[in-house]
Amino acid sequence: MTKLSVNINKIATLRNSRGGNNPDVIKAAIDCERFGADGITVHPRPDERHIRYTDVYALKEAVKTELNIEGNPREQKFIDLVLAVKPTQVTLVPDALNQLTSDHGWDTITHKTFLIDTIQKFKSHGIRTSIFVDPDLKMIEAAPETGTDRIELYTESYAHGYTKNKKSAVAPFIVAAKKANELGLGINAGHDLSLDNLQFFKQQIPALLEVSIGHALICDALYYGLENTIQLYKRKLT
């Protein structure tokens, strides 16, 4: 079964909006695991507008499933954090400074040397690596040369096109996933996946190992409750 990693950034955003420690990000992560999450994802940014670096250190001690840290490895502070915490997985995302949210994958050809050097740093410490990519065959074909263990398919275009023509929207992701499988790359996916579009995506993508979902899941939890929402998402992945 495809694993569900819950991104808890939005819980940290809510906490930070008022100061203090309500909601408690660490307790939320523990509860997400207790409610059935297979992992916890965080994406600390340099301005710490949601997840703080101190949160990540605390989560390393609290998370019992898998901890996935996302971020831009061009920031030395990010690299130092990952090497200190040693999460199960690090997902490399080519975010610009102060970017609102991730909106594109790596150019694995142009940035090949940088990715090789960076990925080797993490893998030498036993950390599984994944890189954010668009469903572009050229980018996926070049990905194995970077040394990455997995790719994370950036699914915003699928989510955007799903309501118009779901078969057309998922088509490039099927092609991309098949190529990744041929090349021996593990496949993760994330961005704008929701209760509406997740099941169809899962059914169409061969050997999908993990999805990372935050914004939609936390929004749904406002109506359905966190425990019930996690179970609803898990059922979409069976």
- Apex 50 CA angle, 49 and 56, nearest 5: 120
Catalytic member of 33, 43, 152, 210: 43
Contacts of 100 (CB under 8 A, 6+ apart): none
Catalytic member of 33, 66, 70, 210: 70
- Apex 38 CA angle, 33 and 42, nearest 5: 80
* CB-based contact 93:127 (threshold 8 Å): no
How many other CB atoms are found less than 10 A from the CB of residue 170? 23
What is d(CA 22, CA 25) in angstroms, rounded to the nearest whole number?
8
Q: What is the DSSP letter of 96?
A: P
- 48 catalytic per annotation: no
Q: What is the DSSP letter of 212?
A: E
- 182 catalytic per annotation: no
Kindly state the tokens that stand for 111.
Answer: 């940035």
- 191 catalytic per annotation: yes
Contacts of 138 (CB under 8 A, 6+ apart): 109
Catalytic member of 33, 50, 152, 191: 191
- Which are the catalytic amino acids? 43, 70, 191
